[in-house]
Amino acid sequence: MAHSKTVRDAVRTAYVHEGLPLPRISELHGVSQPVIRQWKARAKKQGDDWDRARTASEVGARGVAEASEAMLIRYLRQAQVLMPKIEDDPDIATADKIKLMAMLSDSYSKMTASFARANPKINQLTLAMDVVRLLADYVMENHREHAAELVAVLEGFGPTLTARYG
């Protein structure tokens, strides 16, 4: 089904300036997510990178510190969705679950470190997450038999860290 330029423009505006996720845009404008992704890819080839425009829009509207915080929050939401999927998947061995969770923690640490200069509060959260990662590494190396328990404890502790530092 061909969509009008008005619909394509509305979809771009919803993505770039309103910051809506693709599923919501699809629902609002009656355009499938694969079609929206095609439009994004086509626009990018023509020099209109929707993702860059979205970031610029966020920074312009909020300032660097707020835009960085919003990006970090989006990442946290994704991590919160991913963590239970890792934990609940019966096809992933416990040791592999721990490795995946450590990788997620490591990527979180790297991401927050890159934003630490923009917001001192993020810098505190980065330090706290680094300590947690060091603890997880220590348990994996020295007390592997307690790794599953640590995963359960850290899952409950994550929101406490975020509430205090994030």
CA-to-CA distance for 123 and 68, rounded, in angstroms?
A: 12
Alpha-carbon distance of 55 to 71, in angstroms, equals 9
Collapsed DSSP state (helix, strand, coil) of residue 30: coil
Is 59 inside any structural domain? no
Number of domains in the chain: 2
Question: 71 with 46, same domain?
Answer: no
Give 3-state DSSP helix, strand, coil % of the chain, rounded to 5: 85, 0, 15
pLDDT in tens, 5-24: 899 989 998 888 888 889 99
Range of the domain at 38: 5-54
Highest mean pLDDT among 30-34, 79-83, 120-124: 30-34
Q: How many residues does the chain have?
A: 166
Last residue in a domain, options 54, 74, 95: 54
75 and 34 in a common domain: no
Integer Cα distance of 49 and 12 in angstroms? 10
Q: Residue 143: pLDDT above 80?
A: yes
For the purposes of burial, counting CB atoms within 10 Å of the CB of 122, is it exposed (0-12), middle (13-18) or buried (19 or more)? buried
Quick check: pTM over 0.75? no
